[in-house]
Chains A and B, each alone.
Chain A
Amino acid sequence: MTAEDRKPEERIDEYLLGRATAEDVGVLNELLARDEQLRKLYRFRVALEGGYREAAIRGESLEPTTAGSFDRAKQSSHKSFLYGLALAAASLAALALIAVVQWNSVDRETPTSVASSGMGIPVARLVTSLDANWRDVDPTPGEFLAKGIFQLDAGVVELEFNRGARVTLRGPSSFELKDTDLLHVSSGNLVARIPEEAIGFTIVTDEAEVVDLGTEFGLRVESGRQTEVHVIEGLVEVFPRESSSNRSTESVRIEEGQAVRWKAGDVEKMATESIPVRSSRGVLGTEQRNDLGLTFLQGNIRLKETVSSADLRRSASSWIEVIPEQSGVLIQREIPVTLVAPGNYRLFRDSGQVIPAGTKVDSYLFHFRSTQPSPIQGVIKFDQEIVGLVCEATQLAASDSIVGREGMRFPVASRQYRGLEPHVRFENPNPDKGGGWTADEVTISQDMRTVGLSVNVNPRQGVDQLRVLVRSKD
């Protein structure tokens, strides 16, 4: 039988079995588009697919079945799937703190609390901010940003668009949030990371349109001069803005590991020039980690570069401060840590847990300062898996020299109260002892990426810190 005289249903079966050729798919596209009966047949064959798979999973050669046994077989496969669902549900229920603020995809589309910095519909959220200096507005991490034009004079910010795209921008930058999947950048350097659900996210410059096809890429836009596109991972397609209706002939596809530059006025001809690709850090032109690696979901949290001596002496305001420490540290000798598993914790002592030698980690120091007797609370989500929390003062001191930031002053004098409390279980905590008024509390999510914190700091004597170690992606 030749390829030409194959029946459509045979091509459908080949397709469903993953054996179709490009010709099969081409023919099927044509036939299915115009033939309703064939589409019905396709649906019927897909329904049978489920039966074949079920029979193969159930085991082996089928004996003649009754409806009852078939039903039971179905129930067993449901059970296995529902077990997975139940686990997800249980983890959500157990971590109510996190569930409340979970930034899930559906919520992203219809935010209920909007602190926009302009009029209109919120399209993105500011998730992290490092030394950001905005013109006219002053959004804090966690705030939604509405459609509108923004000027970032200095600093690094990370935005999460409602469709899931994450964009790190370094000032000075001028940009306009146009929609949940559209950003207009007139000037500035940025790195965009696009999860699956946000494929198609588009960044326009004054001259070109950069469409993401599932990737991580960087843009360096110098207004009126030149634009560079660096594809760090995946694929992007660049179109001249004026001829976007004629995309198939006038676009340029840029693959992973490639970078191009075009000068103002050249883009209509797609006269691009290949240049060496930069890493995301290189695109941003910063010593900071390119993506900061975390998201502040809730609470009074900010990033800082260090903790100074003055910071240790006084508490002028209540903050959880996060200081990115060393990254990509290969652990030579096991590090004692306090917490290594999901759960809700109110007791922080050395229980013999360690991060084994050979693990490569990034470190974040959390510094809690407060002027209030009430606990400081916050929820932080990390991009990478958490491998351990160091909450106990002796363990903190031991890990300072391994993963701590060089030149930072650690509160050795406050050693007794440096970590979280209590270290022993007791019924009625004495408010004059330890770092705070009530027990500190840490919740780690089931997926080991999110941490909920509720920490008491006695401003007269306590200096609470903890360290989060995540698996390095370097």
Chain B
Amino acid sequence: MAGEPDQPESPNPISESDFVRLFARHELALRNYARLILPDWSGVDDVLQDASITMWESRQRLRDQSGFLPWGKVIVRHKCFNAIAKMRRDRLVLDKDVLEVIAREEEAETESEDLMLIQHSLAECLSELSPERRELVLAPYRGAGEVKKLAEQGRKTPNSLYKIIGRLRTKLSQCVEEKLKLELT
């Protein structure tokens, strides 16, 4: 398959248990990588499922454990662009060229540990919000119609709630950046 590693079987292939351990370690980075390319989470779930099976089936080709994440990213990237070609028919997606640049720049960077740190910081920032605000900012991830339901309960329009969500997200983003700066110092 184009873009996927075309390597012969490794003389020292990783064991099944090593594969599972490596996948667990790098899953967050792979999932994040797919989300960079794909416009929604349901596509990410599908691609990760598919990619994990391809990786499992071709694990004999992996030469060493340090190559697991780059190797996995190549497979995920390929699956994502295949998936996106189909999505373009019925939804708005960033240009392929733009996504390719973003994906390429990401390849050399984020590891699962970095993402854990970001997510941990975000959890702390979320905990500083009032329960109502937390509920609102997480509503879009709890399923279609959740924001609308909250809007009906509060006698507001969904659009006005999305504006509030947008402001909260900006605030949370700043909060996380501050925490990361502290972490680095």
Determine if chain A interacts with chain B: yes
Chain A contact patch, size range? 35 or more
The answer to whether A13 touches B166, judged by C-beta atoms less than 8 angstroms apart, is yes
Is there a chain B Cβ closer than 8 Å to A50's Cβ? yes
Q: B146-185: which residues lie under 8 A (CB-CB) from chain A?
A: 162, 165-166, 169-170, 172-173, 176-177
CA distance A198 to B170 in the complex (A): 40
CA distance A10 to B167 in the complex (A): 9
Known: A81-B27, A104-B54, A214-B85. A56 touches B142 (CB 8 A): yes
- B87 vs chain A, min Cβ distance (A): 10
Is there a chain B Cβ closer than 8 Å to A92's Cβ? yes
Is there a chain B Cβ closer than 8 Å to A398's Cβ? no
- Complex interface: chain A residues within 8 A of B124 (CB): 64-65
B40's contact among A18, A39, A108, by CB below 8 Å, is which? A18
The answer to whether B85 touches A200, judged by C-beta atoms less than 8 angstroms apart, is yes
Known: A28-B94, A82-B24. A89 touches B56 (CB 8 A): yes
The answer to whether A74 touches B102, judged by C-beta atoms less than 8 angstroms apart, is no
The answer to whether B134 touches A46, judged by C-beta atoms less than 8 angstroms apart, is no
CA distance A48 to B122 in the complex (A): 7
What total of chain B residues lie within 8 Å of the partner, measured CB to CB? 73
- A196 vs chain B, min Cβ distance (A): 5
- A398 vs chain B, min Cβ distance (A): 39
CA distance A51 to B118 in the complex (A): 8
For A58-101 the 0/1 string (1 means CB < 8 A from B) is 00011111010011001100100110111011001000000000
- Complex interface: chain B residues within 8 A of A67 (CB): 120
- B130 vs chain A, min Cβ distance (A): 9
The answer to whether A47 touches B115, judged by C-beta atoms less than 8 angstroms apart, is yes
Q: Which of A19-27, A239-247, A277-285 contacts B (4 or more CB under 8 A)?
A: A19-27
CA distance A133 to B148 in the complex (A): 63
The answer to whether A50 touches B28, judged by C-beta atoms less than 8 angstroms apart, is yes
- Could you jot down 26 A-B contacts, CB within 8 Å? A19-B162, A20-B92, A24-B92, A28-B98, A29-B94, A29-B95, A32-B102, A43-B109, A44-B118, A46-B35, A47-B118, A48-B118, A49-B35, A50-B119, A56-B139, A70-B119, A78-B27, A82-B27, A85-B53, A105-B1, A106-B1, A106-B54, A106-B61, A197-B82, A213-B85, A214-B89
Chain B positions near chain A (C-beta within 8 angstroms): 1-2, 4, 6, 16, 20, 23-24, 27-28, 31-32, 35-36, 39-41, 48-49, 52-54, 56-58, 61, 79, 82-83, 85-86, 89, 92-95, 97-98, 101-102, 105-106, 109-110, 114-116, 118-120, 122-124, 126-127, 131, 134-135, 137-142, 162, 165-166, 169-170, 172-173, 176-177
For the complex with contacts A33-B98, A62-B127, A106-B1, 16 further pairs of A-B residues with Cβ separation under 8 Å are A10-B166, A10-B170, A28-B98, A42-B102, A46-B36, A48-B173, A49-B35, A50-B35, A52-B141, A55-B122, A74-B116, A89-B56, A92-B56, A163-B1, A197-B1, A235-B89
Chain A positions near chain B (C-beta within 8 angstroms): 9-10, 13-15, 17-22, 24-25, 28-29, 32-33, 36, 39-40, 42-57, 61-65, 67, 70-71, 74-75, 78, 81-82, 84-86, 88-89, 92, 102, 104-110, 163, 196-197, 199-200, 213-214, 235
